Structure 1
């Protein structure tokens, strides 16, 4: 069936499109031009001009469509095609930009088919991190932040975690596990961590390198966002802890690789431009409207399912470790999380170190700076020392390592 190009079929829907663009452009452009949610007057003025222009053009196309000469539809069609070409060029430009950036600038992470993404091996960078000063960050083989001697006779501790353990806000030698090995001569450290990781990805790392390292103890770092990242629907619903990257999820006992987005996920996943806009819009939504974490509770159906999945993953962790003891701790403890991690660990025969989130809060109350929100909520060197002291004390008291007379001085 052929659609006859008349003034009604061309200009009326085109006018509707322009008006619709004018109505929604405010949200889209705010997210695009102001990722931090702070809008100066010049930015607002640009948005207002574009918004008024789109609505005015749309109104004129609808109201005066009968007086527009019909042959001009070709010019409008040409403009529309030009706009599409501009979008395609923008998309291509972003791809080229990120390709060059990836080749010329060191990054802590890289995409990976199996894990979703992984820590970049043999990496080094030195840069100023806002609030934290100059940071010197490096990784060694396989992307480990620290990879000790696998033939060592010392107590080999395999540390696994997410961005808190990756520690891009502290320099080499200043993490909590560095505190452990510098405080006790009986310790050999192996640390793999990657920002945004969920418990399943961390289990995959354990499974991959367990036989290489043959650890005597496994130190497992939790964060509250692990619960979010362990469930596809919960991460999809989150504006705050959605990593916008394809990752493995445990669903019905099977691993599935999915992109955590409930609407137009396939389109956003394949387009650099749409993904960039989507990420910025999520930041804006979280700032203006909050996220599911703000209303989450331990009775929420998605939380219950995510906690169950986390328990299943940690059961697999325990089986893979066999008789090797696992010691876990959490970096934070929001109200909605409660004692979930402790209960999961208790059920699976995993040791749990309490008190680290509380120690961080107490330090803040006493005026001690351990992080730098709103720039970053990850620990600085002092935060890592606080965590390191608590972990070391637990390890010695529970005889995972021998007490050591070694004394270290941290500036």
Structure 2
């Protein structure tokens, strides 16, 4: 009876053998990952990101903006410039996160400054910030809000919230090259520069949605320390044996420009955001945009976008700061090599002053 049963048994089909093999491999991989995760957690010290020291810890999570300036934030201490020289800093932000908030009832011209970390200007005292220097030279009421990591949409949302209350005669909009990265999550995922926080993004239909610029694989690496350890070493081995350099999104932006699809799409999103700014700008209010840096092709794209919407745009102040730094005539940057120190803010104010003066005169 048993021999007959054995003779009548059908051999496994190819599909059954393949399924059995795949299930076996999956179980083996699961076991390897479980043991790997246990070993890495026991033997490899966990990566710990220390909290940001003052005055770099200004951010407070915000359901609307993603994050905002901590209300009433204050810092007194010393900063270093790029040359290693210490200087005193005393910074204050009001209950709404503004570094400058003039008199909304004044008959003097009112200028609203909007931007990111360059406008937040934690590197210099309030009175040394470029907008407060312009306040003294132009005799106007100044209002200034910015925060590190902000993209153009977040800046627009601050502008949208406050423009009707302040009723500015002129809006000065500070932009920088990484705004394109901040404006489009897939580009941030591909780039070395990352904020890595939940933030608002402009959706294709023009509405605002929220998301975190992290790919599925990056999320898995954050979840599994073994996968993170394995990926990091595999990448290092590949780069070592291939002799190649690790290239991130910034490299492709500078070399391929608009032919690099994530950057091209980020430019398209930014065009739509600036169009929203134009539509929201009150009648009679003028806008001057300026770039805080001179990286290409971002600078040219910003100039095209703002001028295409009928706004004035300049990179002259930043170009002057960069030239002074390159020629070594004076230290213009803080220790990070990007943001301006006191001298840098003075030069930016000097560069903006004639343009802003002309716009204010024409607005009368």
**Is the CA contact 2:123–2:334 (under 8 Å) kept in the aligned structure 1?**
no
Contact 2:109 2:360 in 1 (8 A): no
Q: CA RMSD, aligned part only?
A: 3.7
For the 8 Å contact 1:342–1:352, the answer to whether it is kept is: yes
**Structure 1, unpaired ranges of 5+:** 1-9, 36-93, 404-411
Structure 2 segments unaligned to the other structure (5+ residues): 1-26, 237-244
Aligned residue among 332, 335, 352 for 1:370 = 332
2:301 matches 1:347: no
Measured against aligned partners, the alpha-carbon deviations of 1:64-92 in whole angstroms (never above 9, x if no partner) come to xxxxxxxxxxxxxxxxxxxxxxxxxxxxx
CA separation of 1:290 and 1:264: change in aligned 2, threshold 3 A: closer
CA distance, structure 2, for counterparts of residue 12 and residue 347 of structure 1:
55
The counterpart of 1:384, out of the listed 329, 339, 345, is 345
Pick from 114, 123, 128 the counterpart of residue 73 of structure 2.
123
Q: CA deviation at 1:211?
A: 1.2
Deviations 1:178-211 (A, max 9, x none): 11011122x1000111110000000000110111
String of CA shifts for 1:103-159, please: whole Å, max 9, x gaps.
Answer: x99942200001000011222111333435332111013110111000011110010
Shift of 1:162: 0.2
Which one of the candidate residues 257, 282, 285 is aligned to 1:322? 282
1:142 matched residue in structure 2: 96
Report the counterpart of residue 129 of structure 2 in structure 1.
175
Q: 1:268 to 1:204 in 2, by over 3 A?
A: farther
Contact 1:155 1:401 in 2 (8 A): no
Residue of structure 1 in register with 2:60 after alignment = 110
Change (3 A) 1:338 1:298: farther
Which residues of 2 match residues 3-402 of structure 1 at below 5 A?
Answer: 32=47, 107-131=57-81, 133-185=87-139, 187-240=140-193, 242-252=194-204, 253-263=206-216, 289-296=246-253, 297-323=257-283, 324-367=285-328, 368-373=330-335, 375-400=336-361
Match of 2:15 in 1: none
Deviation (angstroms), 1:232: 1.2
Distance in 1 between residues matched to 2:90 and 2:215, nearest whole Å? 38
Matched residue, 1:88: none
- How far off is 1:18 after superposition? 5.5
> Is the Cα–Cα contact under 8 Å of residues 227 and 307 in structure 1 kept in the other structure?
yes
**Bigger CA drift: 349-358 or 112-121?**
349-358
The CA deviation string for residues 202-225 of structure 1, in whole angstroms up to 9 with x for no partner, is: 000011011111111100000001
- Give the whole-Å Cα distance in 2 for the aligned partners of 1:372 and 1:355: 20
Residue 361 of structure 1: how far off its partner (Å): 1.7
Under a length normalisation based on structure 2, what TM-score does the superposition of the two structures give?
0.76
Once residues 193 and 25 of structure 1 are traced to their aligned partners in structure 2, the CA distance between those partners, rounded to angstroms, is 43
When normalised by structure 1's length, the TM-score is 0.68
Aligned residue number for residue 24 of structure 2: none
- Structure 2 Cα separation of the partners of residues 11 and 365 of structure 1: 57
Q: Assess, with a 3 A threshold, how the Cα gap between structure 1 residues 365 and 194 changes in structure 2: closer, same or farther.
A: same
The size of the alignment, in residue pairs, is: 315
